[in-house]
Amino acid sequence: MPSRRKRPCCICHVWFFPDNRVGGRQHTCGSPDCQRQRRRKMQVAWRARNPDYFSGRRIQARMVGDLPPSPPAQPGRSSPPTPFAPPTLSPPTSSRPPAPLRLRAPLNQLPWDIAQSEFGAQGADFIGIMAGLLLRQAQSEIAAYHVEITAVTEGLRPPGAQSSIPSVAYLPGSGVEAESHATGISST
């Protein structure tokens, strides 16, 4: 019989007795909140270790298309359960290719249906995902640089500064200084 030793929960830090069936592998107490948070942390860590898993799986799943119907069961016999077969790189069974991959702007402005007809659905999906990755990387690198234009703005006045030279309408002798005076007071 395994020894029952208390250990602290890695989320709430409350001491608990691990389940005998799990033993040293149990890291959280029995609280559903702690288990949910631990699960969330583990999923984030897994996604960080396997960043390309879901994009590759989406490409493969789009290529599978509709699965052929299973043969009808014979009366009086129970058909064995069919195991789940992961998507393969086989061509789709339907004659119609899958819809083009939906991408964010500006990549959604490209003719992905033409790329799909030229490179195939899987090739177009790969190019679209790679273009999205390059776009995100370029945008993150551009955002890292703080744009500072001091050479152009050094000679300019701040936007609130007023000009000391009056406009032509206010010059003496122009004949219109009384009608368009800035204060709105006429000279009469």
Residue 118 lies in a domain: yes
Over the stretch 23-53, which tens digit does the pLDDT of each residue have?
Answer: 789 999 989 999 999 999 999 999 999 887 8
Residue 188 lies in a domain: no
Average pLDDT over residues 86-110: 68
Q: What is the DSSP string of the chain?
A: ------EE-TTT--EEPPPTTTGGG--S-S-HHHHHHHHHHHHHHHHHH-TTHHHHHHHHHHHH-SPPPPPPPPTT-PPPPPPPPPP-SPPPSSSSPPPPPP--TTGGGS-HHHHHHHHHHHHHHHHHHHHHHHHHHHHHHHHHSPP--HHHHSSSPPTTPPPSSPPGGGSTTSS-TTTT-TT-----
Q: Between residues 96 and 7, which one has the greater pLDDT?
A: 7
Residue 185 lies in a domain: no
Average pLDDT over residues 116-133: 86
Host domain of residue 120: 97-144
Residue 131 lies in a domain: yes
Residue 67 lies in a domain: no
Structural domains of the chain, count: 2
Predicted structure pTM score: 0.41
Residue 90 lies in a domain: no
Residue 12 lies in a domain: yes
Over the stretch 136-165, which tens digit does the pLDDT of each residue have?
Answer: 899 888 888 876 666 665 566 666 656 666
